Structure 1
Amino acid sequence: MSDVRDPGAPEPGASPVSGARRWLVLAAVSAGLLLISVDMTVLYTALPTLSSDLGASASERLWIINAYPLVMAGLLLGAGTLGDRVGHKRMYLVGLVLFGAASLAAAYAASPAVLVAARAFLAVGAAAMMPATLSLIRVTFEDERERGIAIGVWGTMAMVGAAIGPIVGGALLEFFWWGSVFLVNVPIVLAALVLAAVVAPGGSGGSDRPWDVVASAQVMVGLVGVVYAIKELTGPEPSAVAVVVAALAAVGGLWSFVRRQRGQAHPLIDFSLFRDPRILVGVLAAGMAMFALAGVQLVLTQRLQLVLGFTPLQAGTTVAAMALGSLPVGVVVGALLHRVGTRPMIVAGLATSALGTVVVAVASAAPLAWTVAGLLVIGAGTAAAMTAASAAIVGNAPAHRAGMAASVEEVSYELGSLSGVAVLGSLMAAVYTRTVVLPAGAPPWAAEGMDEARAAAGELDSGGSAELLDAAARAFDNGYLATLVIAAGVLLVSAVFALLHGRGRRDGAPAAAPGQEGQVNNEMRFCE
């Protein structure tokens, strides 16, 4: 007897969800997803303040940001499988508890090392929650149109959370200490915990799918190696030994992960999924949209504060224009996908985001209104691309791989965000270090970053201080413009790839599993 289960059917032991309760389930999982996304970017505006208070170095600042998406990306695939085994409601509730506890630990961290550890602990809770959010939506919404709207809301929450993270951080720093950006999570966790416990459909899961801890560790080692190699290569004084060790760890971890997956009866990733161009394009679009979003937010919020002198709240309010641009788009796109198709929406969304990024780059010497306009365009484009990508991945996976497809989708989000911060953040720092021309009398360590230059300026007389800050600002802007150009180029190339790859294949029903040709879930049809 086949163990294949329709991904839209309730979990074993679950009860059907009807009436307004469905939308309460959506509210409960949206709150969790919003928390996960906000914590991805909330430190962008808080980073200068907490760096000063904790005495964090440039390397420690990078890991304070990267520990969260890095650990989460490494655990997501295993967490999705564990949810299939123990039940997605249970995973979501456990994830909320872990997230709340980690938020308390991060809020009262006494050193950069403790904060990095707390951020990693936050990622454990987020990894438990994130696959369960989409799985619970699939279980709860049986009507095709309602499910499309719910997935649109789901995708929009991811985008909005990432976009409002900086403004949340900025607003809290206006009145409280930097730990408040984590402490604010606790009441939201408690509310989502109560709501999900009452309204979310339960289920015992299935014991037929093992949880591969080894594979999760392998992929995490590989990702840590990749990020550390990038950080070291773009640092002011790269160490050849560190780069080689990190590269070996990356290659070894990822190679062993791929090899293990090919020999597993229940792999965390079935790489044959990527033979479907619709799924491949969706994964690429999701990753590249988050790559640009995270990178642009990081460099822009830093420039607004360190170069233009904005307060954290002012910087966060400016960057939140992305959220305003995305709010209506995700739901509208979700409602139109069955008519327009996923590929045109992905191409249009990525191209629109690229255009917005160019506008933000050109507007660096223009009035702030032009930057805000560019951010609105980026938000609209990213929301369209992410919503269509979600539908392309989940809607075109065969029924027996639906849970795996959801995990792959979420990993693409996290890897996109992680690589955007690591690559674009490191690129900006590298360009700054290599182009800054320190005036006479300035300490050499002012070349390490804009934060260090500002600290060094406080030790000089007024003339020397102004000269150093001017030189640092010019170098910072060199890096800022370079990162925006790279981000726009990546989005444009991704749009062209999405347009051309697999054009002969039409979006339609998910592919059937071997021997399951008559049992394909044909709930979601998306035509090109």
Structure 2
Amino acid sequence: MTATRPPKATRREWFGLAVIALPCLLYSMDLTVLNLATPHLSADLEPTSSQLLWIVDIYGFLLAGCLVTMGSLGDRIGRRKLLLIGAMAFGAASVLAAFSTSAAMLIAARAVLGIAAATLAPSTLSLIRNMFLDERERTFAIGVWIASFSAGGAIGPLVGGVLLTYFWWGSVFLIAVPIMALLLVLGPIYLPEYRDPEAGRLDIISAALSLVSVLAVIYGIKQAAEIGFNWVTLLSVATGVVFGAMFVRRQKVLREPLIDLELFRQPAFSAALAVNVIGFFVAFSAFLFIAQFLQLVLGLTPFEAGLWSVPSGLAFVAGSMLTPLLVKGRRPTSVMATGFLLAAAGFLVLTRAGELATLPTIIIGYTVFSLGLAPVFTLATDMMVGSVPPEKAGMASGIAETSSEFGGALGIALLGSLVTAIYRSRVNNAQLDGMPVEAVEMARNTLGSAVTAARQIPKENGDVLLMIAQDAFAGAVTWVFAVSAAFALLGALLTVLAIGRRHPGSRSSRARGHRTKWGKSGRNA
């Protein structure tokens, strides 16, 4: 029996894709602009060091913890409905954050922003799965989706820098208001509604177990990146694992689970999930260390660092948009493996940064690995949402986004710990005789502390201390980029061995597999 060819997207779907890009831009912009505003809001609100950490981290914690729940909730109440609810909440919380009069108020606003943001990525990605049933069109649409995140990350520091030049720190949060207002107007016009007609009620206990599990693991990993692995961080991760095991056990006995464990028995889904984790493992840590290198070693301002990060953002956008052309006539796995190899080449260029310490070296390596990873993320995401039927797309989207957050946090923690260990070893082995003891102790903690210490002592000693710390940091990140290159090569190998052997050869075969295993699929407007 010949499989029916999936219908092509209409003009409404393509206009809807442009609407979907709006919250994706904002999603990543909100992650970047706060870094620029932190010194200004610190001077105004005078938060304690603990409060400042929560202002920065609470958004990401609750975002990661709520992704799975929000993805499954969208399957039940409707993806468009959840997206619009999240847009209203995000806009209102942005106003609250902008006009916060205390650190506690800003922390609460950032918490609501994190929960609201968790509705955006799963809802938009699952809507794409329903709007674009033709796989070539869906690959292009997912490329646009990922490019929107990249574009938001690139323009966030630029827009934030301009706003902070002319307005108060709260203005960076008000960027969200017109974007969300436009989404609320255009969403009901161009975005179709879709829900799983057979989905049951959301299991609150499963949602709570999922939240605690993800929060505990992410918190432990992030703390390990800041203070190293100790009994507190290990206990946090262990607690998350225990709650995760309780969550999985509960899903096995529920008639309507929050996550259908059958998803992980789909070879294409589970293999693409692993590849996605590896990709974000190397990407997030590189983003962090390059930003530090540009500012603390090369001496650029945050705005200048953001400006010089634009080429990598544009490369990411270009790689995402070109992916549908790259897979035309080629197996997706070969394109992904090639992307990992290109990323490894970019990381190898970055290993020269410690020796050359030049801006062009950093920008070239940054741009090359971004160009290589873009097709990896696009196709891995496409495989994850494409290997399940439309009615399971919200669930799959939530899992995909959670894997991205987990991979990124794990990379920052493990590779960050490696940077810290090498940096401290190099500083301890340096000749620091005659330096003030307090300044040396500060310098041994982090490069940022070394910069502060160098400003507090006589210029001659300060210049020497700063040079030693910068060389130590450059040497440390050189090792991290070498490790990242090795993980990129591992990603290429895993893509070929795990996905290449399991991923079905034809798109029509996947469509037939969906109808036999999961039931009839299609678009529900």
Q: What are the equivalent positions in structure 2 for 1:20-35 lying under 5 Å apart?
A: 20-35=11-26
User: For the Cα contact (< 8 Å) 1:457–1:464, is it kept in 2?
Assistant: yes
TM-fit CA distance, 1:297: 1.4
The match for 1:13 is: none
TM-score (norm 2): 0.85
Residues 118 and 468 (structure 1), Cα distance of their counterparts in 2 relative to 1, 3 Å cut: farther
User: For the Cα contact (< 8 Å) 1:330–1:383, is it kept in 2?
Assistant: yes
Gaps spanning 5+ residues in structure 1: where?
Answer: 1-5, 10-16, 524-528
TM-fit CA distance, 1:96: 0.9
User: For the Cα contact (< 8 Å) 2:147–2:317, is it kept in 1?
Assistant: yes
- Output one character per residue of 1:332-390: Cα deviation in whole Å (capped at 9) or x when no partner: 21244353232112212222222212212313425322222222212211211111112
Q: 1:283 aligns with which of 259, 273, 288?
A: 273
User: For the Cα contact (< 8 Å) 1:72–1:127, is it kept in 2?
Assistant: yes
The match for 2:366 is: 375
Q: 1:247 aligns with which of 234, 237, 240?
A: 237
- Output one character per residue of 1:28-51: Cα deviation in whole Å (capped at 9) or x when no partner: 111111111222344455556666
Q: 2:291 aligns with which of 288, 301, 305?
A: 301
Residues 470 and 18 (structure 1), Cα distance of their counterparts in 2 relative to 1, 3 Å cut: closer
TM-fit CA distance, 1:122: 1.5
Q: C-alpha separation between the residues in 2 aligned to 1:431 and 1:112?
A: 35
User: Matched residue of 2:438: which SS?
Assistant: coil
Q: C-alpha separation between the residues in 1 aligned to 2:250 and 2:392?
A: 18
Q: What are the equivalent positions in structure 2 for 1:319-468 lying under 5 Å apart?
A: 319-337=309-327, 339-364=329-354, 365-398=356-389, 401-437=392-428, 439-443=435-439, 444-468=441-465
Q: 1:81 aligns with which of 59, 72, 75?
A: 72
The match for 2:497 is: 500
TM-fit CA distance, 1:396: 2.0
User: For the Cα contact (< 8 Å) 2:209–2:247, is it kept in 1?
Assistant: yes
Structure 1 stretch displaced more, 60-69 or 391-400: 60-69
Amino acid at match of 1:341: R
Residues 98 and 358 (structure 1), Cα distance of their counterparts in 2 relative to 1, 3 Å cut: farther
- Output one character per residue of 1:388-438: Cα deviation in whole Å (capped at 9) or x when no partner: 112211222245534322322222223233333444445434544454346
Q: Does 2:501 correspond to 1:510?
A: no
Q: What are the equivalent positions in structure 2 for 1:10-49 lying under 5 Å apart?
A: 20-44=11-35
Structure 1 stretch displaced more, 370-379 or 384-393: 370-379
TM-score (norm 1): 0.85
Q: What are the equivalent positions in structure 2 for 1:5-404 lying under 5 Å apart?
A: 20-44=11-35, 63-109=54-100, 114-202=105-193, 206=197, 208-233=199-224, 235=226, 239-240=230-231, 242-337=232-327, 339-364=329-354, 365-398=356-389, 401-404=392-395
Q: C-alpha separation between the residues in 2 aligned to 1:311 and 1:388?
A: 35
Higher helix share: 2
TM-fit CA distance, 1:310: 0.6
TM-fit CA distance, 1:234: 5.2
Gaps spanning 5+ residues in structure 2: where?
Answer: none
Residues 239 and 515 (structure 1), Cα distance of their counterparts in 2 relative to 1, 3 Å cut: closer
Q: C-alpha separation between the residues in 1 aligned to 2:79 and 2:237?
A: 36
Q: C-alpha separation between the residues in 1 aligned to 2:296 and 2:102?
A: 23
Residues 328 and 47 (structure 1), Cα distance of their counterparts in 2 relative to 1, 3 Å cut: same
Structure 1 stretch displaced more, 383-392 or 494-503: 494-503
Structure 1 stretch displaced more, 129-138 or 310-319: 129-138
Q: C-alpha separation between the residues in 2 aligned to 1:451 and 1:197?
A: 47
Q: C-alpha separation between the residues in 1 aligned to 2:419 and 2:181?
A: 38
Q: C-alpha separation between the residues in 1 aligned to 2:289 and 2:371?
A: 20
TM-fit CA distance, 1:207: 7.0
TM-fit CA distance, 1:488: 2.5
Residues 470 and 117 (structure 1), Cα distance of their counterparts in 2 relative to 1, 3 Å cut: farther
Q: Percent identity?
A: 35
The match for 1:3 is: none
- Output one character per residue of 1:82-138: Cα deviation in whole Å (capped at 9) or x when no partner: 112221111111111121222233334566665444333222111112211122223
User: For the Cα contact (< 8 Å) 1:442–1:468, is it kept in 2?
Assistant: no
Residues 71 and 485 (structure 1), Cα distance of their counterparts in 2 relative to 1, 3 Å cut: farther
- Output one character per residue of 1:182-211: Cα deviation in whole Å (capped at 9) or x when no partner: 232222222222221332224676473221
Structure 1 stretch displaced more, 112-121 or 276-285: 112-121
Residues 417 and 34 (structure 1), Cα distance of their counterparts in 2 relative to 1, 3 Å cut: farther
- Output one character per residue of 1:198-247: Cα deviation in whole Å (capped at 9) or x when no partner: 3222467647322133223223322333334334545558653x235323
- Output one character per residue of 1:65-97: Cα deviation in whole Å (capped at 9) or x when no partner: 443333222211111221122211111111111
TM-fit CA distance, 1:274: 2.7
TM-fit CA distance, 1:174: 4.4
- Output one character per residue of 1:237-290: Cα deviation in whole Å (capped at 9) or x when no partner: 8653x2353233222222212212222222233333233332223212323323
- Output one character per residue of 1:279-321: Cα deviation in whole Å (capped at 9) or x when no partner: 2232123233233222211111122112221111110011121
RMSD: 3.4
- Output one character per residue of 1:148-207: Cα deviation in whole Å (capped at 9) or x when no partner: 322221122233333444444444444444443323222222222222133222467647
Paired residues, number: 509
User: Matched residue of 1:339: which SS?
Assistant: coil
Q: 2:483 aligns with which of 482, 486, 499?
A: 486
User: For the Cα contact (< 8 Å) 2:130–2:390, is it kept in 1?
Assistant: no
Structure 1 stretch displaced more, 323-332 or 469-478: 469-478
